Amino acid sequence: MSVHPAVTWAQRSSESEPAKNIVYLTIEVQDPVDVKLDLTATKLTFSAQSADKATQYALDLEFFDEIDPEQSRTHEAGNKISLVLRKKKAQAEFWPRLLKEKVKLHYIKTDFDKWVDEDEQEEVADENDDMANMMGGMGGMPGMGGMGGMPGMGGMGGMPGMGGMGGMPGMGGAGGPDLSQLLGGAGGDFDFSKLASQLGKGGEMPDFGDEEGEEGEEGDEGDVEAEISTKN
Q: What is the pLDDT of residues 51-101, one digit of tens each?
A: 888 899 999 999 999 999 999 999 998 899 999 999 999 999 999 999 999
Contact 25, 115 (CB under 8 A): no
- The rounded distance, in Å, linking the Cα atoms of 93 and 118 is 7
- Three-state DSSP class for 68? strand
The three-state (H, E, C) secondary structure of 113-181, written as one string: CCCCCHHHHHHCCCHHHHHHHHHHCCCCCCCCCCCCCCCCCCCCCCCCCCCCCCCCCCCCCCCCCCHHH
Beta bridge partners of 99: 63
Res. 116 pLDDT band, cuts 50 70 90? confident
Condensed to tens digits (0 to 9), the pLDDT of residues 164-216 reads 444 444 444 445 555 555 555 544 555 556 655 666 544 444 454 444 444 44
- Share the mean pLDDT of the chain: 71
The confidence score (pLDDT) of residue 119 equals: 78
Q: Please state the pTM of the whole predicted model.
A: 0.54
The pLDDT, as a whole number, for residue 23 is 97
pLDDT of residue 108: 97
Distances (CA, A) of 232 to 174, 177, 204, 221, 229: 12, 12, 18, 17, 5
CB 10 within 8 A of CB 22: no
> Quick check: 228 pLDDT over 50?
no
Q: What is the pLDDT of residue 117?
A: 84
- Amino acid 12: pLDDT: 95
Position with higher pLDDT, 184 vs 108 = 108
More confidently predicted of 158 and 52: 52
Distance CA 232, CA 230 (A): 6
